[in-house]
Structure 1
């Protein structure tokens, strides 16, 4: 799924580096990261993938239009 520049800007605004998130859904049959896992956003790339360092797991991206996560604590984000 292609992302518009407007939607990309919104994603980057919503998910800045350091913000904490919670996994809602991941459409990847090979991952073992369960729903509800929390992590820290690393960055949002040019195609809208939100790269996240998941607590207790490895880094894995949330794919725009397929997967879903939500911000859990915007007041405690560590900005880079």
Structure 2
């Protein structure tokens, strides 16, 4: 499973499933790392609320708020 996310991108969480202590939808954060696997992608995010929590895409869903390139221009 491929994703367009890259380290440094800013994201907003749309949904997180199957986590006993999920991040709330609408929370923003910065992608720290992207690790593609065969059927899914693991994404490490440093959330603005102080937590660091990995996403599993799919089923978790985020939208890109800004890319690292946007932030350097």
**TM-score, normalized by length of structure 2?**
0.78
Task: Identify, as 1 or 2, the structure richer in helix.
Answer: 1
Instruction: Say if 2:16 and 2:22, in contact at 8 Å, map to a contact too.
Output: no
Alignment partner, residue 24 of structure 2: 34
Q: Displacement, 1:22? A: 0.3
Alignment partner, residue 54 of structure 1: 47
Alignment partner, residue 24 of structure 1: 14
Alignment partner, residue 57 of structure 2: 64
RMSD between aligned residues: 1.6
Give ranges in structure 2 of 5+ residues lacking alignment. none
**TM-score, normalized by length of structure 1?**
0.72
Instruction: Say if 2:27 and 2:48, in contact at 8 Å, map to a contact too.
Output: yes
Instruction: Say if 1:19 and 1:71, in contact at 8 Å, map to a contact too.
Output: yes
Residue-pair matches, total: 67
